[in-house]
Copies of this chain bind each other. A is one copy, B any other.
Amino acid sequence: MTTRWLSPDEQRAWRAYIAASLLLEDTIDRQLQQEAGMPHLYYSILANLSETPERRLRMTELAEGLKITRPRLTYAVARLEKDGLVRRESCQWDKRGSVAVLTDEGVAVLERAAPGHVETVRAALFDRLTPEQVGQLEEIFTSVTAGLQGEGGPAEEVPWRRRSSPSCS
């Protein structure tokens, strides 16, 4: 079958997206590197942890939530642990497992970094969009995410989350 090339409209959209996403990640990484000494991904790890009730998450669950590979997460958490922002505990119920826990210092760093980060995201993105465009953005990328991993299989259960006992330490 002959290739279905991109239409001119699609070309333009694709190029606009590629260019902007590179610039955007660059901008955000640089800002966070400056003000928090870590790249965007590492900030996101802290942020994700901070949103759970116990500020802890299984490594795999964290990796899935962030859409990154496990080796990448292992490396990142090792660094954050060295900096004292995250602690690693092994999971009681599954001795293979390990759990990343946000430390108090991690919370502090996150809270210090958050305003600047949000400001950057606003300045680079949301301040330039109409409310309709915000909706469009969400729709488009939600659909893309669904396509790219929805096919891979739905979310599965995560052992420790179903306990409400104090910890997996």
- Give Cα distance in the complex from A21 to B22, angstroms: 10
For chain A, the count of residues having a C-beta within 8 Å of the partner chain is 54
Q: Please tell me how many copies of the chain the complex holds.
A: 2
Chain B residues near A141: list those with CB within 8 A. 13, 16-17, 19-21
Any chain B CB within 8 A of the CB of A24? yes
Q: List 19 A-B contacts (CB under 8 A).
A: A6-B118, A6-B126, A9-B131, A13-B141, A14-B121, A20-B144, A20-B145, A22-B66, A22-B67, A23-B145, A23-B148, A27-B148, A124-B148, A128-B143, A128-B144, A129-B140, A133-B140, A136-B140, A137-B140
Question: Is A3 within 8 A of B131, CB to CB?
Answer: no
Against B, the Cβ 8 Å flags (1 = close, 0 = not) of A101-126 are 00000000000001100110111111
Interface majority SS on A: helix, strand, loop or mixed? helix
